[in-house]
Amino acid sequence: MGNLQDLLKEVDAILKSTDAPAPTPDVATSCDAPTDALLEALHTHFRYPSFRAGQREIIEAVLESQNVFAVFPTGHGKSLCYQLPALMLPGITVVISPLISLMKDQVDALRARGIEAVSLINSTQTWDEYRGELARLKQGAVKLLYISPERLRSRRFLDILNAFPISLFVIDEAHCISQWGRDFRPAYLALRDTIDVLHPRVIALFTATAPPDIREEVLSLLNIPTPRILTQGIERPNLKLSVQESEDEETKYQLLENFLKFTTIENSGKPLKTSPSNRAGDIGQNGIIYAGRRRETEEIANYLQKRGFRADFYHAGLETHERNRVQEAFFDDSPNGLDIVVATNAFGMGIDKADIRYIVHWTLTGTLEEYCQEAGRAGRDGKTAACMLLYCHEDRGLHEWFIKENAPDGPSLLKLLKVIENFKGTDRYRTIAGNELEWMSGFKMTKIQVCLSYLEKLGFLKRWYNVPSQLSVTFRAFRMDTTAPEDTGQQELLNHLRAGKLTTILEFCEAVGLNPKEMMEQLAELQSEGYIQYWGQEDLMLIELIHDSELFSTLTEEQIEVSDYVLRKRRQIDKVVFYALEATCRVRVMRDYFGEEVDENYRCGTCDLCQNRRDI
């Protein structure tokens, strides 16, 4: 690629040869007009006059072909750090993102800026839409391609990508890769294989919260060599952190009501409908209250409703249409909308509402990463927002109970492995419904996920993507009538699909002699080639057994090494409690936890402790 200066000279020449739009008065003035190729590109594509802190360093590292792991606070503009290089580099940039809604928001925002060389491929598209995006890709009309990690299960799709030079491979929300991350998905671990197949020139990882140990684990799992670690810092001065201690639940309710009635949030810019002051609970001020239990979300919402607040609850136990209703009402700024959602952490990633003015935590989170992720949803418009934790010493007991319930041990791992072996499957593969696995093992799903992680870590099994228990298939008559797949296995599978006598994945597997992983890959190929379009709720875990329970029973406790789970979880809770009981500066605790160099005398000047010291 050459060095950065050569590339910037080329970009500068290209930009100067084009009819770039003139700067608008409110964006760039004579004193801050672009003075180099990077600023010129920034202004041309995004109409920004300058970079935010840290952005330029990341972009320059990417343009210099350095692998990057960037930790940027929420709302600080990390997406620009790969979008701008994508438009400047030759070839294409592939962006892996965990949620379709997040991808769609970014694509829509880019197109609103007039940037059309962007594409989104996901499972919600029709076959015609999918083929249309592939055609744009092959025509060279795409510079920036957003896909979910599950899309990479198709070898044919990987072959299509491999036909193009991939200058940049981006993994957004990179903490999802960690086996300990709360947003963990098995498909993220398969990205290591994807990287080996595609050989991208540069790999860039982005997240808002990843302390040093998580960064090390992610890089180890992906086997990414010598990345440059760039951290902009966890601090967001517009977020006013505070903690209120309480002795019991009754006190918490009173503290919450006082916060909503009397806390003034300055510079919110939100028009108020009932009050002359910008208080947290005023109509028009949006906020989220996070609680640890589903029952608590319902009780708190009911308490607030009785006191006239426009509030509702949200948790994973609600039906899909109810969750959608609450989320849509929260995003509705009309008088019919909601001001407050009381939720578990199920109301999480993808909640991208810029004007959330406050986040209240009714209970401790399990980690400081979780707290920062959730509190970071406030104030994304850059205006003042309040983040309050209601701390009660007894709240730690809830997490201690979770640790005890979920902690793996030798007998639990052996029992789960035997249960999985007894499920019906083909060859080494088992397709398993989560509720059946819960019933047959006697474990809750959270403990099952922890135990699966340990069994995978020990090399006894491998989790693949989820597969559907049943399929619905539509055939593309124009393709079926003109040509047949060259692969005889695909021809046989098509014949069985057209016969319509088989209804489950395992029946298909037995009929055509494929394991479930091969079956899903073949279906993906047939869909990619235009023969079929298939649908099916991916409701079964796909697990490959590598070693059996007989071998596991010979392992010693030292070989199993499960004691680190309890130790690690308790240390994480200790950090949250330490934050709650901090007596000097809360931001200093955060910065230290996330591996930033910070003097012990550092004071942020904005948290409740610093403000109280200033008032004395």
Q: What's the pTM value of the predicted model, to 2 decimals?
A: 0.80
Q: Judging by DSSP bridges, how do beta strands 311-314 and 340-343 pair with one another? A: parallel
DSSP state letter for 175? G
CA angle 247, 251, 252 (to 5 degrees): 95
What span, in angstroms and rounded, lies between the C-alpha atoms of 243 and 605?
15
Give just the sign of the alpha carbon dihedral 480, 483, 486, 491. Answer: positive
Distance CA 260, CA 176 (A): 33
- Look at residue 186 in the predicted model and tell me its pLDDT: 64
The domain spanning residue 298 has which CATH number? 3.40.50.300
Q: How far is CA 458 from CA 22, 64, 193, 282, 454, in A?
A: 60, 38, 19, 53, 6
Q: What is the CA radius of gyration of the chain?
A: 26
Q: Are 93 and 176 found together in one domain?
A: yes
**Residue 466 · residue 539 · CB < 8 Å:** yes
Residue 126: strand, helix, or coil = coil
Q: Domain boundary at 231, 254, 282, which?
A: 231
Single residue among 527, 561, 595 that ends a domain in this structure: 561
Give 326-330's long-range contacts (Cβ < 8 A, gap of 24+): 327/351, 330/286
Assigned domain for 292 exists: yes
DSSP state, residue 176: G
Instruction: Give the C-alpha separation, 520 to 100, whole Å.
Output: 21
Here the tokens at position 32 are 């801050």
Helix (H, G, I), strand (E, B) or coil at 606: coil
The pLDDT tens digits of the residues spanning 171-189 come to 988 887 775 444 456 667 7
For residue 273 the two structure tokens come to 């409908």
Does the residue 98 lie in any domain? Answer: yes
* Structural domain of 557: 411-466+545-561
Number of H helices, E strands in the chain: 27, 19
Predicted local confidence at residue 76, as pLDDT: 76
Is 573 within 8 Å of 364 (Cβ atoms)?
yes
User: What's the half-sphere exposure (Cβ side, CA atoms, 13 Å) at 268?
Assistant: 27
Q: Name residues of the chain where pLDDT drops below 50.
A: 1-2, 11, 13-35, 180-183, 271-276
How confident is the model at residue 512, as a pLDDT? 84
Nearest by Cα to 377 from 399, 392, 357: 357
With beta carbons less than 8 A apart as the criterion, state whether 172 and 95 touch: yes
Whether residue 376 is found in the same domain as residue 315: yes
Q: What is the 3-state secondary structure (H, E, C) of 442-465?
A: CCCHHHHHHHHHHHHHCCCEEECC
* pLDDT at residue 296, rounded to an integer: 97
Cβ pair 189, 177 in contact under 8 A: yes
Q: How many other β-carbons are positioned within 10 Å of the β-carbon of residue 479? A: 15
- Can you give the pLDDT at residue 294? 94
* CA distance linking residue 447 with residue 407, whole number of Å: 7
Closest CA to 103 of 167, 139, 56, 151: 151
Local structure of residue 23 (DSSP, 8 states): P
Task: Tell me the C-alpha distance between 387 and 580, whole Å.
Answer: 12
Indicate whether 330 and 434 sit together in one domain: no
- Distance CA(511)–CA(307), nearest Å, equals 62
Residue 261 has which token pair?
A: 């009635």
221 and 343 part of one domain: no
**Residues 217, 366 within the same domain:** no
Judge if 201 and 219 occupy the same domain.
yes
383 and 417, same domain (yes or no): no
Q: How many residues in the chain?
A: 616
Look at residue 216 and tell me if it is in a domain: yes
Q: How many domains does the chain have?
A: 4
Contact indicator for 244, 236 with CB cutoff of 8 Å: no
Shared-domain flag, residues 218 and 295: no
Rounded CA separation 401/537 (Å) = 33
Give the pair of three-digit tokens for residue 437.
């696995």
The answer to whether 288 touches 360, Cβ cutoff 8 Å, is yes
Domain assignment of residue 95, yes or no: yes
29-33 — which CB contacts under 8 Å span 24+ positions?
A: none
Q: Does residue 291 sit in the same domain as residue 334?
A: yes
- Are the C-beta atoms of 456 and 520 separated by less than 8 Å? no
Looking at the domain assignment, is residue 507 inside a domain?
Answer: yes
pLDDT in tens, 425-434: 888 999 999 9
* Residue 32 within any structural domain of the chain: no
Residue 7 lies in a domain: no
Same domain, residue pair 243 and 389: yes
Determine the pLDDT at residue 22.
36
Last residue of a domain, one of 398, 429, 457: 398
Residue type, 505: I
Return the SS3 of 538: coil
d(CA 309, CA 99): 31
Q: What is the 3-state secondary structure (H, E, C) of 468-522?
A: CCECEEEECHHHHCCCCCCCHHHHHHHHHHHHCCCCEHHHHHHHHCCCHHHHHHH
Judgement on whether residues 220 and 243 belong to the same structural domain of the protein:
no
User: What DSSP character marks residue 248?
Assistant: S
In a domain, 26, yes or no: no
Q: What pLDDT does residue 21 have? A: 38
Residues 553 and 531 in one domain: no
